Amino acid sequence: MKRKVYVTRKLPDVIVERLSETCEIRMWEEEERPVPREVLEEEIKDVDGLYCLLTEQIDAPLLDRADKLKVIANMAVGYNNIDIDAAKERGVTVTNTPGVLTETTADLTFSLLMATARRIPEASEYLRNGEWKTWSPMQLTGQDIHGATLGIIGLGRIGEAVAKRAKGFDMKVLYHNRSQNREAEGRLELHYTELHTLLRESDFVCVLTPFTPETKNMIDKEELDRMKESAIIINTARGGIVNEKALYDALKEKSIWAAGLDVFEEEPVSLNHPLLSLPNLVTLPHIGSASIATRMKMADLAATNLLDVLAGGDPPNKVV
């Protein structure tokens, strides 16, 4: 008898074929709309495995409907969409997809940093809107990246990969992390600092920490007030780590210079969100890991994790 698996979004054919070799697959076939909660509540009732994305909230009431569930394979490195304690209590294994997206997400983080510092989207619009009349000394001037100080909040895999890129731009790199990493400090020439020192001294602050109850609103008014007027904050981790109201006020009052966001507290962000009205904000729709090759690797790794658990083995990326 094949194990039953529910997949919460349309996946590439090759991944579906791989899962179908040993499992009976049901799948939410739409690409542009997440599975409605009531559909998921029905579908989860009789499955052994759930293959899901960060758009699905996997909470205790949902898990209470899933008598046979053995594994939740999240196709993401972050797993703040899953109630990990509730899964553990019910003996359900949770897996994620670290490693394969590190370099791609670091590429995007650095791209967003550069686009924000040099006002690239704004300059492109300026040209397309016919505003480019002449070359002018202070026209569309931004902030230098080379030689600046970068502060990394959260020195995990992606934080280290961003630090490596910064070295190529002759940046001084500070970091703040729950624990000091002396090995990485030596290898990458990093300087460990308290959060307040990092905020005070950095020209660029990159938020790369997981979203947990401890990191919720970690960057709030008090922290933003400590940053330089010329500083830029980049968040490619999760919305909610930087308080959006406080960020709006800081950008509006120009107490910091600009921000680049790939993530929001609520996604997709509403077009009426006050932040979107600000010229000194560069935004993206949560595309940190979105290269073709990396998304294929993430989809395949989530499948490996799911299949390994269902086969009674140890998955490569067990969270609990």
Closer residue to ligand GLV (CB): 156 or 274:
156
Distance CA 36, CA 38 (A): 6
Cα–Cα distances (Å) from 115 to 16, 169, 315, in that order, read 36, 15, 38
95 binds ligand GLV (CB under 6 A): no
**Quick check: 303 binds ligand GLV (CB under 6 A)?**
no
Q: Please state whether beta strands 190-192 and 172-176 pair in parallel, antiparallel, or not at all (unpaired).
A: parallel
Q: Which stretch binds ligand GLV (CB under 6 A): 28-36, 71-79, 130-138, 245-253?
A: 71-79
- Name the minimum Å distance from CB 77 to ligand GLV: 4
Q: Does 77 bind ligand GLV (CB under 6 A)?
A: yes
Task: Supply the minimum distance, in Å, between the C-beta of residue 253 and ligand GLV.
Answer: 30
Between 193 and 304, CB nearer to ligand GLV: 304
CB 73 within 8 A of CB 100: no
Between CA 201 and CA 173 the distance in angstroms is 10
| Type of residue found at 198 | L
Which residues, 6 or more positions from 170, have their beta carbon under 8 angstroms from its beta carbon?
A: 146, 147
Site string for ligand GLV, 5-44 (x = CB under 6 A): ----------------------------------------
**What are the beta bridge partners of residue 93?**
71
Residue 128's beta-bridge partner residues?
A: none
Positive or negative CA dihedral for 81, 301, 8, 157? positive
- Contact between 159 and ligand GLV by CB under 6 A: the answer reads no
The reply to whether 289 sits near ligand GLV by the rule CB under 6 A is: yes
**Shorter beta-carbon distance to ligand GLV: residue 154 or 288:** 288
| Residue with smaller CB distance to ligand GLV, 54 or 150 | 54
Q: Among residues 149 and 209, whose Cβ is nearest to ligand GLV? A: 209
* CA 183 to mean position of chain CA atoms: 25
Query: Shortest Cβ distance from residue 19 to ligand GLV (Å)?
Result: 19
Contacts with ligand GLV by CB under 6 A: the residue count is: 7
288, 294, 299, 301: which one contacts ligand GLV (CB under 6 A)?
288
* Single residue of 76, 190, 299, 301 touching ligand GLV by CB under 6 A: 76
- Tell me the C-alpha distance between 315 and 291, whole Å: 24
As measured in angstroms, the least distance from the Cβ of 153 to ligand GLV is: 16
| Interaction of residue 250 with ligand GLV, rule CB under 6 A | no
Residues 6+ apart with CB under 8 A from 280: 251, 254, 257, 258, 259
- Residue 126 has φ and ψ, to the nearest 5°, of -55, -45
Which residues make Cβ contacts (< 8 Å) with residue 87, sequence separation at least 6?
58, 63, 72, 93, 94, 320
> Quick one: 47 or 54, whose CB is closer to ligand GLV?
54
Closest separation between CB of residue 40 and ligand GLV, Å?
Answer: 19
Residues annotated catalytic, as ranges: 238, 267, 286
For residue 298, the 8-state DSSP code is H
Tell me which stretch binds ligand GLV (CB under 6 A): 19-27, 72-80, 275-283, 309-317: 72-80
Helix (H, G, I), strand (E, B) or coil at 7: strand
Q: Under the rule (CB under 6 A), what is the footprint of ligand GLV?
A: 54, 76-78, 101, 288-289
